[in-house]
Amino acid sequence: MQPLIHPGVEEAVQNDDSFLSIQSRQRLAVTNGQSGFYMLDSGHEAFLYRAALVEAAEQSIDVQSYIWNNDASGRYLAGRLLLAADRGIQVRLLLDDFNAEGIGELFAALDTHPNIYIRLFNPARSRGGWGRWVSFLMDFDRINRRMHNKTFVVDGAVGVVGGRNIGDEYFGFDADLYFRDRDVLSLGPVVNGMTDNFQAYWDNRWAYPVSVLYPDTPAEGNVVAALDQLRRQARAQDGLPVPAPADSPRGRTELVELFDRLVVAHGELVFDLPFETMEEPAETPRRSAKALQILAQAASQEILIESAYLILTEKQLKLLDVGDRQGLKVTAVTNSLASNDLVTNHAGYARWRPYMLRQGIRIYELKPDAEACEQWLRNDSVCASGDASLHTKSVVFDRSTLVVGSFNVNLRSIYLNGETVLVIHSPELAEAVARDVQSLMQPGNSWEVSLDDSGDLHWRSGEESYTSEPAVGWWRGVKSRLLSWLPIEKYL
């Protein structure tokens, strides 16, 4: 597949008299270029404020996501975006193609609306079935350059950035699985960086209009019927466990109440530019990784990491120089084998886990039945099933600077993916997130992993003690061990 040369869709003209622009200008008028931030730690809040932003939009909505599921929350937000387009809002959706197979045809139908534009980044040659997997293998180097960035920007004035994809398991709507995650809703100058990030990928020659990839969109009558059904489902809020604001007054009311709770601080958005060519070597850390490296090298007391996937090899740890600095404590919370959604990713981590421990990094692994699950969800039925998993990507430096974004602390994020990180210089927010991360280290939530004098691994939680991966069946443990022997951690 060759990169596509296509005419760009211009950015929507942003007027300063929109509701959100006025809110930004009034609330941040005397803050000397600072922005306002609100942590979206709850899945339900993350969903509801996205829904509120859609209703408050007056000019444009730009959404960038790695995954968009064809489920209750995914269809609802798609339906509300359709209704926003009906009232004249320009909607642009930019999705990574890797997980787009199950929803591509729906987006092809949405793309027929005159105010909706949809592109898929770095697509596979084949659109479905075994052919899709064959095309992944044939284009292995190219297919591994994924757009993992996640942003949600409305009227160029308010944006959400973080680790969440669009789907029930990310918002606490799935009855069987919950991904603990963190986003930040931002108001003010920092949102300009989110717009720049979106535009850089939108204009990239590997961003294909969905109409090119799905030329056999159903006949016009079928498209009209499909879109009408999506509108009806969105108006009825089918399948939603919580009521969402479904008109402009309610959306604005929700947002005004949130804006009253913003923390004002200096911040900057750092994002990785798309690769110039998909053939260039992926051997150099990308911009987001370099930003984190600078912050890590400047830390003098403490680095707290919360990362769904964690892989730092000898090369990265030498660059960070965390093992030899007197007085610096580095602690990481990540998934256990029992809570990890991907055995392959755990295997890559397990390959380097002893080395990270020997370098002085304290590691805690999330329990799948973490007691904190009941604090994360209003409906704790999923907690009873024991299927909670970590999806968060946050780092706190010296309780003064906080980073939240799409960046997992692993090799894929360092070298291959496009990532977005929001750096916030706020002791207040840094301390709040640090306390939240520390709560995960409690015995009811995690096992601490350590090495004994013989170099063997031990997992401890209160009075519990294990000498092998806890709370997993033998076959899952065997798969992880076998895969950990393979030097494939860069691609996990």
Tell which residue, 7, 110, 121, 108, has the closest CA to residue 66.
Answer: 121
Among 342, 341, 389, 444, CA closest to 172: 389
How many residues does the structure list for the chain? 492
Catalytic residue among 181, 183, 391, 436: 391
DSSP string, 58-90: SSEEEEEES-B-SSHHHHHHHHHHHHHHHTT-E
Catalytic residue among 44, 148, 346, 367: 148
Task: Report which of 421, 416, 424, 362 is spatially closest to residue 399, judged by C-alpha positions.
Answer: 424
Q: What is the rounded CA–CA span in Å between residue 277 and residue 275?
A: 5
SS3 358: helix
What Cα–Cα distance (Å) separates residue 92 from each residue in 8, 105, 110, 116, 292?
Answer: 12, 16, 11, 6, 30
Single out the catalytic residue among 97, 155, 181, 272.
155
User: Which one of the listed residues 266, 398, 479, 490 is annotated catalytic?
Assistant: 398
Catalytic residue check, 391: yes
Select which of 44, 346, 367, 393 is catalytic. Answer: 393
User: Among the options 44, 150, 346, 367, which is catalytic?
Assistant: 150
| Selection from 50, 259, 270 nearest residue 166 by Cα | 50
State the Cα torsion 301-460-343-67 to the nearest 10°: -50
- The answer to whether 150 is a known catalytic residue is yes
SS3 206: coil
Whether 315 is a known active-site residue: answer: no
Instruction: Categorise residue 242: left if φ over 0, alpha if ψ from -120 to 50, beta otherwise.
Output: beta
Instruction: Assess whether 393 carries a catalytic annotation.
Output: yes
Place of tokens 């408050």: 56
Angle at 218 between CA 108 and CA 203, to 5 degrees: 20
Residues catalogued as catalytic: 148, 150, 155, 391, 393, 398
